[in-house]
Amino acid sequence: MALDATTLTVAGSFVTALTAAVLGFTWTQFRDGSVALWWAGSNLLLSLGIGILAVVWSGGADAAIMPLGFLAMTVSPALAWTGVRAFNQRRPHPPLLLAGPLLIALAPLAAPPSLRAEIGAAINLLVTAAYLGAASWEILRPVEERLRSSRALGIVVGAHALFILACVRDTFAIDLGRPAPFGTILGAIHFEMLVYAIASSVFVVALVRERSEAIHQKAARIDPLTGIPNRRAFATRAEFLIERAVREGAPVSLLMLDLDRFKLVNDTHGHDFGDRVLQAFADSARRVLRPNDLLSRWGGEEFVVLLPGAGREAALCIAERMRLAFLTAGEAVGGTVVHATVSIGIASDQAAASTLDELMKRADTALYKAKRLGRNRVEAEPAECLEGGAVIRIA
């Protein structure tokens, strides 16, 4: 069966328009799916550009409108690049978005009339490859959030950019007034474009879904008020860290923390202000703790911290830093003098022999002692209750 290039071009336009519709629908289903909307616009312009070329090559329109088709096909990857920037929470670059179309429109005017069409097509392909390369780099560049679908999408877009770049040479070797023959690199675009449109759309949809799932999973682990791990996330992570400390024979400590007279703060200033006090404590604690320490909101005004590798003396030092940090931060919150303080109880194992539940009970006992002795203080189990061992340096 003989393949007709014009028919393949029409099919490419239809398939690309269909992927745009799928991406548009995806955008309506996900709150954080703006990349799907940008990519839908990109594929819609790509479909329009391919369609214009198909109409001209079939004799249905004058060749004078071909530059419009090429322009649409160039703006298409610019929108895709903008979409992935938005996905990574980066602003668009309007000057760079306009630079490509302006270059395509103006650069051929400086070329000899006999080569104007070829040079215009070559510049078009170069600009398209540049936008695609920028989009690929934006997808693959290191960010805090690493999604599996982003690598696949970045590879697809990068491969398409390299293919477009390889097509530049053919613009000077074929008749641009008709479809490129199948025996050339540019002729392979009839197939490659279909693969790119479908594959990139599939991975964009996967990317949006993966981001949505990651957001929901994070929400299930994070306390929405303070932005630190919640009780469930702490228990899971803490048990793992304690088990690892047991295997390594390393010390571990646990702090139970309770904001002093917090009910009075709520009754006096209101619950909204109380929430700000909780946030102020979480912020002050994060500034003091080490990167591998695990801070969590246990419930209400109660917090808990696991200190891997810290023995009793190290834990006392860290707890005192936390107390002093909040003594300063809680003096006045949002311009309101409140004198908020925290009491801290410590349980330590020099050889990590206890379970999480045991450490929690012992730390809670020490916390109760801190409250009973006047609040705004740190209390630890008596040193004679612990086995000897080395103290881990914390600074």
Of 70-74, 89-93, 160-164, 380-384, minimum mean pLDDT range: 380-384
Q: Confirm or reject CATH 3.30.70.270 for domain 231-385, answering yes or no.
A: yes
Euclidean distance between CA atoms 266 and 306, whole angstroms: 28
Residue 64: how many CB atoms within 10 A of its CB?
Answer: 8
Q: Which residue has the tokens 């409250």?
A: 371
The helix (H) or strand (E) run that includes residue 342 is strand 342-349
Please spell the DSSP secondary structure of 294-341, one letter per residue. Answer: EEEEEETTEEEEEEET--HHHHHHHHHHHHHHHHHHTTEETTEE----
pLDDT bin (cut points 50, 70, 90) of residue 102 is confident
200 closest CA partner among 62, 378, 42, 25: 42
Architecture of domain 5-220: Up-down Bundle (1.20)
Domain ranges of the chain: 5-220, 231-385
pTM: 0.69
How many Å apart are CA 181 and CA 373, to the nearest integer?
Answer: 89
What is the predicted pLDDT for the residue at 142?
63
What backbone phi and psi angles, to 5 degrees, belong to 335? Answer: 85, -5
Q: Which of 350, 150, 146, 125 is nearest to 249 (CA)?
A: 350
CA dist 233 to 68, 304, 353, Å?
55, 12, 22
The alpha carbon dihedral of 201, 207, 212, 213 has a sign of positive
Amino acid identity for residue 349 in this structure:
D
Q: State the pairing for strand pair 378-380/342-349.
A: parallel
Mean per-residue pLDDT of the chain: 88
- Cα–Cα distance measured from residue 22 to residue 17, given in angstroms and rounded to the nearest whole number: 9
Tell me whether domains 5-220 and 231-385 share a fold.
no
Per residue in 231-261, pLDDT (tens digit) is 999 999 999 999 998 888 899 999 999 999 9
